[in-house]
Amino acid sequence: MDLQSIKNRFGIIGNSPALNHALNVAVQVANTDLSVLINGESGVGKEVFSQIIHSLSSRKHNSFIAVNCGAIPEGTIDSELFGHEKGSFTGAVDSRKGYFETVNGGTIFLDEIGEMPLGTQARLLRVLEAGEYIRVGSSKVQKTDVRVIAASNKDLLDLTNRGKFREDLYYRLNTVPIRVPSLRDRKEDILLLFRKFASDFAERYKTSSVQLQEDAKQVLLNYIFPGNVRELKNIAEQVSVLSKEKNITAEQLLSFLPEQSQNRLPALSGGPGAVSQAEFANEREILYKLFFDMKKDVNELKKMFFDLVQNPSVATHVPVYTQDSGNIGTMKEISSNMGNAYPVNPSVIYKTENGNGIQQHEEVEESLSILDKEKELIIKALKKHRGKRKDASIDLGISERTLYRKLKEYDIDHL
C-alpha cells in the first residue's frame, strides 16, 4: 500500500518530509512483532500511527485496544492491565480479566506511558521479555501474545535519568522509535489542514466555508500551536461557527487565538523548567537575533579600529592588541563606553612590526557560526555553574531537558 492510500484511509492530511518519514517507518515496522515507541507532543495524532501499524500487521484481524495510562488511577492500573482475582482487594467481588488477557493475539496501545507507575512498569517489562504476567492477588503465571505499542509526549530518557522511568523498560520499548512531528515543524501543512477542517465544518453546519486573507494566513503560519493539530481543528471550528464574516482578516483571526500564546518568542523565567516545548521550538530564533546583533557590534568595532589605524594621531592614544604582549591598554575604555555589552575579541586585529620597524595591521575573521556560538554559550554556562545542569539551563533560558539534549548533540562532557 502506497503512502497516499494510507493517508486517505486514515484521514491524514499533509505532505511534509518529517510526516512522510514517520509514516514510512510505521509502514516498514508494521508487519513485524517489534515493540514501537511513538514520541510526539500532545495533539499530533500518535494514536493514528498505532492504528496504522496494527491494521497493516498480521494481527489486523485480532483485537486492538488503546489504553491511556495517565487516565487510570495508580491503585487500579495493575488490575486494568493484568486482571485480578476475587477478593484480592476491597471491591474485587469477582475475578476479572485484564487487557493483556482479553487482547491476546492482538495489539495494545499504551498511550502516555510516562505516567505509568514504576511497579506496573516492572510487570510490563516481564510481559515484553517473557510474555508472562500474574493477575493481582494470584500466584499463577499466565501467558499472553500481545504486541505493545507505546507513546509518550514526555522525554522518557529524561525521566529515566531522573529515576521516574525504568531504563530497561525504556530500551525494551524503544526497539523502533517513531517521532511524530509537531505542527510548527510542518508549516507547509497548516493552511491545507485549516482548509480541510473549515470545509468539513461548513458542510456539517450547512454554511459556506471561511477563507483566510493573506495577513491572516501569516498569523496562522507564525502561531506556535502548543496543542498541535487538535488545537488547529478547534480554531477552525470556532472561526467557522462564531465569525460573522467568511473572509477572515488577521485581526479577526487573532481574536480566536489564546492571548498568552500569540507571541512566538519564549519568555525567560527564573523557575526551573519554565520554558515549554512550544517555546523551546523558537529558541534558535532568539540565538539568531542575538548573534546577528553581536556580529553587527563586532563589525562596528572593526570599523572603529580601522579608522584609528588610518589616523596615527589618534591611534597612539588607543593601543591595540599585539601578538607578543597581549596588552589591552585603553581598549577597556572603549568597551566601557559601549556599555560592555560584548567583550573585545583579541582575534579581530593584530599589530605586528616588520624588519624595518613599520607597523602592519592584519584582520583575522572570527568564527560567526551559530552552532559554534551556541556550543560556546552552553560551555560557559556549565563552567559558571560548576557543571550544574539545572542552574546552567536557567541561566541560558532553556529547560533542563533541552540542555541535556544539546549536551549530547554537541558531545559536551559534563564540566
From 122, 154, 181, give the residue that closes a domain: 181
Q: Do 22 and 148 have their domain in common?
A: yes
In this prediction, residues 280-289 reach a mean pLDDT of 52
Q: Do 211 and 80 have their domain in common?
A: no
From 163, 181, 199, give the residue that closes a domain: 181
Q: Considering the chain, what is the average pLDDT of its residues?
A: 81
Q: Do 131 and 223 have their domain in common?
A: no
Grid cell of 325 as nine digits: 604582549
Q: How far apart are CA 390 and CA 301, in angstroms?
A: 35
Q: Do β-strands 132-134 and 349-353 pair in parallel, antiparallel, or remain unpaired?
A: unpaired
Q: Identify whether 392 is part of a domain.
A: no
Q: Identify whether 338 is part of a domain.
A: yes
Per-residue pLDDT at 339: 44
In this prediction, residues 395-413 reach a mean pLDDT of 81
Q: Do 17 and 130 have their domain in common?
A: yes
Evaluate if residue 200 carries a pLDDT over 80. Answer: yes
Q: Do 87 and 141 have their domain in common?
A: yes
Per-residue pLDDT at 225: 93
Q: Identify whether 386 is part of a domain.
A: no
Which residue in 342, 340, 339 sits closest to 293, CA to CA?
Answer: 342
Q: Do 121 and 155 have their domain in common?
A: yes
Q: Do 139 and 99 have their domain in common?
A: yes
Residue-wise pLDDT for 74-114, tens only, equals 889 999 999 999 888 877 888 899 999 999 999 999 999 99
Instruction: Please report which confidence band the pLDDT of residue 407 belongs to, taking 50, 70 and 90 as the band edges.
Output: confident
Q: Identify whether 327 is part of a domain.
A: yes
Per-residue pLDDT at 119: 94
Q: How far apart are CA 70 and CA 270, in angstroms?
A: 29
Number of other CB atoms surrounding residue 6 within 10 Å: 18
Q: How far apart are CA 324 and CA 108, in angstroms?
A: 70
Evaluate if residue 346 carries a pLDDT over 50. Answer: no
Residue-wise pLDDT for 242-275, tens only, equals 988 899 999 999 999 987 554 443 444 444 444 4
From 181, 205, 230, give the residue that closes a domain: 181
Q: Do 177 and 190 have their domain in common?
A: no
Residue-wise pLDDT for 21-35, tens only, equals 999 999 999 999 999
Evaluate if residue 337 carries a pLDDT over 50. Answer: no
In this prediction, residues 364-371 reach a mean pLDDT of 61
Grid cell of 57 as nine digits: 500487521
Per-residue pLDDT at 151: 97
Q: Identify whether 370 is part of a domain.
A: no
Evaluate if residue 316 carries a pLDDT over 50. Answer: no
Q: Do 120 and 255 have their domain in common?
A: no
Per-residue pLDDT at 312: 54
CATH number, domain with residue 134 = 3.40.50.300
Number of domains in the chain: 3
CATH number, domain with residue 195 = 1.10.8.60
Evaluate if residue 284 carries a pLDDT over 60. Answer: no
For the four alpha carbons of 393, 399, 404 and 407, in that order, the dihedral sign comes to: negative
Q: Do 202 and 172 have their domain in common?
A: no
Q: Do 213 and 236 have their domain in common?
A: yes
Q: How far apart are CA 391 and CA 385, in angstroms?
A: 6
Query: Alpha carbon of 272 to those of 268, 331, 402: distances in Å?
Result: 11, 38, 12
Residue-wise pLDDT for 211-229, tens only, equals 999 999 999 999 999 999 9
Residue-wise pLDDT for 16-66, tens only, equals 999 999 999 999 999 999 999 999 999 999 999 999 999 999 999 999 999
Q: Identify whether 146 is part of a domain.
A: yes
Q: Identify whether 412 is part of a domain.
A: no
Share of the chain above pLDDT 70, in %: 74
Q: Do 208 and 355 have their domain in common?
A: no
Per-residue pLDDT at 415: 58
Instruction: Please report which confidence band the pLDDT of residue 207 belongs to, taking 50, 70 and 90 as the band edges.
Output: confident
For the four alpha carbons of 152, 153, 155 and 159, in that order, the dihedral sign comes to: negative
What's the whole-model pTM score? 0.61
Lowest model confidence (mean pLDDT) among 3-12, 313-322, 391-400: 313-322
SS3 (DSSP) at 17: helix
Evaluate if residue 350 carries a pLDDT over 90. Answer: no
Outline where DSSP puts E strands in 75-146.
107-111, 132-134, 141-143
Q: Identify whether 381 is part of a domain.
A: no
**What residue numbers bound the domain in which 57 lies?**
3-181
